[in-house]
Amino acid sequence: MFGAREGTIEYPGSGSGRDVAAVYVVKEKDTVESVSQRYGVPVQTIVDRNRLIPPYTLRPGQSLQLPNARFVPDATGGPTTATATAPGPVKRESLPPPGQSEPPRSAAPPAAGQPTPLSPAAAESSVTVPATPPPRMAWPLKGKVLAPYGTASGGQKNDGIDIQAEPGAPVKAAEGGTVVYVGSEVAHLGNLVLVQHPGGYITAYGNNEAVLVKKGEEVKKGETIAKAGSSGGVTSPRLHFEVRRGGSRTIDPMTVLPAQ
């Protein structure tokens, strides 16, 4: 793929091995979700095959292996063109291989044990999430909201809310589900816990002093999963709480939480 144009994909030739995957060259503003939607490859498959690590930010020019890739036409149904390449067993195209127009597969949830994308780039994704009413969740911790959801005056985006806390205060699961990640690999979110819920929802609990659950553990709504703290470099004890859908689409937590 050296020198391949950004936004193009090479499909394996007919003589290629069984496990050979198409290779896509990332272009500007691509996200894992947008590539998943465009080529019908589940998010989980892309993450696993390419050993992506959080926050899953893609770089222009980066190569991604896409097993069983097939172009999913957009709603415009416009004409497609192919980019010519040197003769060989591999064909490079910027648009779909002939005769394939299946409807897009729905994006799969992130792999168990892997964090969801927690980056501003995720907000630029054009993936359409099915209109399923979000669940009514419980407050993971009661306290003053120090930082609301959205873009602050300085231009920095908060993908969740920051709740003031006493050191060691119990942090509770906002909804029942499965713990899919515990760790401190995501910048500024020390001792992060991710819980996956039915309907493709994931809640994130960051800046904890201690974590009381393990990856793969089932938790109930209201169950204590961590102790609040100030890990991740924050200036005061707090809980950073996020609600996500479809891997990277953030939801204002205040829309799914009752009044305090």
Question: Looking at residue 32, what is its pLDDT?
Answer: 85
Mean pLDDT value across residues 6-34: 80
Q: What is the pLDDT of residue 40?
A: 86
Q: End-to-end alpha-carbon separation of the chain, Å?
A: 54
| pLDDT for 3 beyond 80 | no
Q: Is it the case that residue 88 has pLDDT exceeding 60?
A: no
Write down the pLDDT at residue 213: 96
CB 224 within 8 A of CB 195: no
Encode pLDDT of 209-232 as tens digits: 999 999 999 999 999 999 999 998
pLDDT of residue 13: 65
pLDDT in tens, 173-192: 999 999 999 998 888 888 99
At residue 134, the pLDDT reads: 63
For residue range 30-68, what is the model confidence (pLDDT) as tens digits? 888 888 888 888 888 888 888 887 777 888 888 898 888
| pLDDT exceeds 60 at position 69 | yes
At 153 the pLDDT is 66
